[in-house]
Amino acid sequence: MNNLIRIICLTFLTCLATGGTAMAAPGKALGTVLITGANRGIGLELASQYKSRGFQVIGTARKPEQATELQALGVRVEALDVTDSNSVKALASRLDGIALDILINNAGIAGYSAGSFQEFDFDQVMPSFEVNSLGPMRVTQALYKNLASGSGKKVVQISSIMGSVELNRGGSYGYRASKSALNILNKSLAIELGPDGFVCVVLHPGWVRTRMGGESAQLTTQESVTGMVSVIEQLKPASNGRFYDYQGKELPW
C-alpha cells in the first residue's frame, strides 16, 4: 500500500512539473509529428518541444544540409519544398508506411507587400499563395495515407489572425489573402475528413519574434509554441474546422 501511495504521489508531482502535459514513458514515443519549415523560428521550436516531450519528430527544410540547428535536435530531417509537387511526392515516397499522428503545416512566407493598393503589383503575389495556401494542401494530400493510419489524425495549419476577414484592418493584401485562402481550404478539408476522425484546424501563433515577425513582436518562439502545443494536445472532434490562437481562443473568420 505504501509503495502504491508513493507511485501515485510521484506521478502527481511529475504531472505538475510538466504543466499537466502528457509525457512518453522511457523508450516509447507518444506519437509521430511532421513539421514543415522546421529549420528556424516557430518550426524549429515546435520540433524542439515535441522532441523533448517524447514524440518522434520529422522536420522538413528546403535545404536540409543547411538546417544545422534542426539536425542538432536529433530529429529526422527531410528535404521539402512545399511549392514543388515533385518534392512533395518524393517526401511521401520516403515516408511510405510511416504512420503520422500530427501534421503541422508551418512553412510560410511574408511575401510581397506594397504601401498602397495603387502601388500593388499583382504579378508578384503568386509565391505567397503557392507557399502559404496551396503548399499546406499539397503536403496534406500527399501524406493522407500516413495520417489515416495514425491514431492522432490531427492536421494543423499555422495561419495568422491577418487572414481573418472580420478583423482585417487593411493593407498587406497578398499575405492576408494567402492566409484567408488557407483558412477556407482547411475548412473544406475539415468538412470532408471530419467523418473519418480527422481534426483539421488553423492556428494563429501570435506576433512572434522571428525573422518574419521582427524584433518588435510581443512573443518569443518558446511562448508561442508552448501555447500552441497545449492547444494541439487538447484538440477533439468538436474542434474540427475551427480557427484558434496560441492560447486556445477561437477567432472570427
Query: Residue 22: what pLDDT?
Result: 57
CB-side exposure of 81: number of CA atoms within 13 Å? 8
* Report field, pTM of the whole predicted structure over 0.95: no
Burial class (CB in 10 A: 0-12, 13-18, 19+), 29: middle
Phi and psi for 150 in degrees, rounded to 5? Answer: -85, 165
| Cα 101 versus chain centre, distance | 12
Query: Residue 114: what pLDDT?
Result: 80
Q: Alpha-carbon distance 242 to 93, whole Å?
A: 30
Residues 119-151 have pLDDT tens digits of: 999 899 999 999 999 999 999 999 999 999 999
Cβ proximity of 195 and 16 under 8 Å? no
In tens digits, the chain (253 residues) has pLDDT values of 455 445 444 444 444 444 445 555 555 678 999 999 999 999 999 999 999 999 999 999 999 999 999 999 999 999 999 999 999 999 999 999 999 999 999 999 999 888 789 999 989 999 999 999 999 999 999 999 999 999 999 999 999 999 999 999 999 999 999 999 999 999 999 999 999 999 999 999 987 867 666 666 679 989 999 999 999 999 999 999 999 999 999 999 9
- 55-61 CB contacts, 8 Å cutoff, 24+ apart: 55/24, 55/29, 55/30, 55/31, 55/102, 56/29, 56/31, 56/32, 57/32, 57/33, 58/32, 58/33, 58/34, 58/95, 58/100, 59/34, 59/35, 60/34, 60/35, 60/36, 60/91, 60/107, 61/37
Residues annotated catalytic, as ranges:
159, 175, 179
**Reduced to 3 states, what is the DSSP secondary structure of residue 93?**
helix
Query: Residue 19: what pLDDT?
Result: 44
Query: Residue 145: what pLDDT?
Result: 98
- Residue 151 in grid coordinates: 491514431
